[in-house]
C-alpha cells in the first residue's frame, strides 16, 4: 500500500519552497527572515496579492514545526484546503510570468525621418502612448510619447497647421530624456518589477523596459513594458483571486 505524505509535511515543504522563492525574488533584502521578506517585497504584485495569507501561513508553520515530535512526525496537521492553497502559491512563485507575457507587443518603432502624420494615424487607431525611435541601423535613440506630441502641438499656431513636412525628429526638442532599460526575452516579471523598484528608490523615473532577444539595444524590440502594465497585471491578478 502506497504511503501518503502527511498534510503537515506537505505544508512545511511548500512553505520552505515559498521561503526560498522569496529570497530569490526580493533582491537586496536586509535579511532572509520570512516575515521580513514579505515586508520588503511590497513592490512585487504577487507578494502583495498573497501577503495576508502568507503572514498567517508563517504563524501556522511555526506552530506545526514546534509541535513536530521527530522527523516527519507531527502532532497537528493543517486542513487539506490550506495545504492545497499554499502549494498553489509555491508553484506560482517558482514559475513566474515571462516579461513578454505582460509586454505590449508587437512594438511599433520608427525612424527619425518618419512623417509625423503616419504615427498620428497609429495613435488614433491603437492608442499606444510610446514609440521607440531608432536610427538607420535599428539602434534605439530616444522615445517618442503622446505627451511629447501634445507638447509640440501646443507650440504650433492655432490655425494653418500643416503636417506635410513634419517628421519625427522635429519633435525631439519637445521630449524629455526618458530612461529605458533593456532585458532579454527570458526575463521574468520579478526582474522587471525589481528594475522599476530600483529606479524608483533612486528617484530616477523609468519610462519603459524594452524586451529584445538578448537584451541588447541593437536588436529588434519584441515588447515594451511600462509601470502602467505592472499596475494592470496586478489588477487582473486581484480580480482572478
Burial of 222 (0-12, 13-18, 19+ CB in 10 A): middle
Cβ neighbours around 37 below 10 Å, total:
22
Q: Are 202 and 181 in contact (CB under 8 A)?
A: no
Cell of 88: 498553489
User: What is the reported pLDDT for 226?
Assistant: 87
User: What is the reported pLDDT for 72?
Assistant: 58
Of 99, 150, 100, 102, the closest CA to residue 123 belongs to: 150
| Cα–Cα distance for residue pair 181/128, rounded to 1 Å | 19
Beta strands in 135-234 (DSSP E): 140-145, 179-184, 206-212, 223-225
User: What is the reported pLDDT for 27?
Assistant: 82
* Domain range annotation of the chain: 7-95, 101-240
First-to-last C-alpha distance (Å) of the chain: 37
CA 223 from centre of chain: 12
Q: What is the CATH number of domain 101-240?
A: 3.10.580.10
User: What is the reported pLDDT for 67?
Assistant: 60
Q: What is the pLDDT of residues 169-204, one digit of tens each?
A: 999 999 988 899 999 999 999 999 989 988 988 888
CA 232 from centre of chain: 10
Give the residues across from 210 on adjacent strands. Answer: 182, 224
Q: Are 148 and 123 in contact (CB under 8 A)?
A: no
Question: Which residue stretches of the chain are H helix?
Answer: 7-25, 34-40, 45-66, 80-94, 99-102, 116-126, 146-154, 189-201, 227-240
At residue 151's C-alpha, the angle toward residues 150 and 152, to 5°, is 90
Parts of the chain with a pLDDT under 50: 1-3, 235-236, 238-241
Cell of 208: 519603459
Residues 6 or more apart whose CB falls under 8 angstroms from that of 48 comprise 42, 234
| Cα–Cα distance for residue pair 89/53, rounded to 1 Å | 10
Amino acid at each position: 500500500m502506497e504511503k501518503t505524505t502527511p498534510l503537515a509535511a506537505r505544508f512545511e515543504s511548500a512553505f520552505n519552497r515559498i521561503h526560498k522563492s522569496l529570497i530569490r525574488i526580493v533582491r537586496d533584502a536586509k535579511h532572509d527572515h520570512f516575515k521580513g521578506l514579505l515586508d520588503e517585497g511590497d513592490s512585487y504584485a504577487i507578494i502583495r496579492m498573497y501577503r495576508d495569507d502568507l503572514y498567517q501561513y508563517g504563524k501556522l508553520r511555526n506552530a506545526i514545526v514546534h509541535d513536530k515530535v521527530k522527523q516527519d512526525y507531527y502532532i497537528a496537521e493543517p486542513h487539506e484546503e490550506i495545504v492545497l492553497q499554499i502549494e498553489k502559491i509555491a508553484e506560482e512563485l517558482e514559475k513566474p510570468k515571462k516579461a513578454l507575457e505582460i509586454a505590449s507587443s508587437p512594438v511599433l518603432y520608427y525612424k527619425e525621418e518618419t512623417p509625423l502624420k503616419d504615427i498620428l494615424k497609429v495613435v488614433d487607431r491603437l492608442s499606444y502612448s510610446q514609440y521607440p525611435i531608432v536610427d538607420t541601423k535599428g539602434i534605439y535613440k530616444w522615445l517618442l510619447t503622446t505627451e511629447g506630441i501634445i507638447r509640440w502641438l501646443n507650440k504650433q499656431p492655432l490655425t494653418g497647421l500643416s503636417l506635410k513636412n513634419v517628421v519625427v525628429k522635429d519633435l525631439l526638442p519637445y521630449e524629455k530624456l526618458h530612461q529605458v532599460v533593456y532585458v532579454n526575452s527570458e526575463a521574468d516579471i520579478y526582474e522587471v518589477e525589481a528594475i522599476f523598484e530600483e529606479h524608483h528608490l533612486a528617484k530616477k523615473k523609468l519610462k519603459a523596459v524594452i524586451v529584445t532577444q538578448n537584451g541588447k539595444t541593437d536588436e529588434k524590440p519584441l515588447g515594451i513594458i511600462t509601470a502602467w502594465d505592472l499596475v494592470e497585471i496586478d489588477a487582473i491578478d486581484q480580480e482572478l483571486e
